[in-house]
Amino acid sequence: MSDARALLCDTARAVFAEAETVGIAPIEEAGFGLLLVAEEQGGFGGDWGDVNAVLQIAGMAVPDLPVAELIAGETLQPAATVSLMAGAMDRALTLSIDHVNTRQQFGRPLGKFQAVQQSLAVMACEVRAVGAVAAALAARLDTAKLDAAAAGFEIAAAKLRANRAVGVVTSIAHQVHGAIGFTAEYELHRLTVPLMRWRGAHGNDDHWAQILGRQVAALGGRGLWDTMTARDA
């Protein structure tokens, strides 16, 4: 990560922490709405790699605030949602690992039980997959100069893959937390409820599967491979 982006992320963490209690105002005041605006126009001059990093932090810290809408326009909302989902899933995994390492049952931490380990490994694979599609989509959007149409294949694939991870990630996170994760006082629902909402927002599974499936059908079997390799950044 570049120094500029690391600094941006530090700022985002601090500002979002404040926003957790007081709402969107500190995020607006800090100028995150200008993240994608060019420097000569008074903006930050960031790229989608920066947006991806900031929105992942938003997905962890302030999943209910409209940070994605503040930063990106309508055509990029599906991509922005993938970044939010990657962040929220990452945080749900961290909470789950912390919980099973702390909570003792039958005389040892839950995390020492193989059944729990296997579940969390499955969850981690999904979380890694969504992190990977968010990063790959960012790379493509930056190559395509934020042209959502030019990154149509990657947006469809990434949103579809992120959507499909939601079921596994939310169910395992809640399962390993037991009843405490289902309470209003514990923070897990602050992540899992938005994840459930985001699955249907900006294109549900069927929407993107149809778009991607029809695009691939038109390419033909060999054409899929040729297209995929030709699109490498």
Site string for another protein, 78-117 (x = CB under 8 A): --------xx--x--xx--x--xx---------xx-x-xx
Closest distance to another protein from the beta carbon of 206 (Å): 6
Which lies closer to another protein via its Cβ, residue 107 or residue 221?
221
Query: Least distance in Å: CB of 146 to another protein?
Result: 19
Distances from the Cα of 117 to the Cα of 110, 123, 172, 176, angstroms? 9, 10, 11, 10
By residue count, the chain amounts to 233
Partners of residue 105 on adjacent β-strands: 108
Q: With contact defined as beta carbons under 8 Å apart, do 151 and 141 qualify? A: yes
Q: Dump the DSSP string for 46-79.
A: --HHHHHHHHHHHHHH-TTS-HHHHHS-GGGHHH
| Residue 108 bridge partners (DSSP) | 105
CB of 192 to another protein, least distance (A): 17
Instruction: Name the residues that contact another protein, by CB under 8 A.
Output: 1, 53, 56, 86-87, 90, 93-94, 97, 100-101, 111-112, 114, 116-118, 120-122, 124-125, 127-129, 131-133, 135-136, 139, 153-154, 156-158, 160-161, 164, 205-206, 208-214, 216-222, 224-225, 228-229, 232
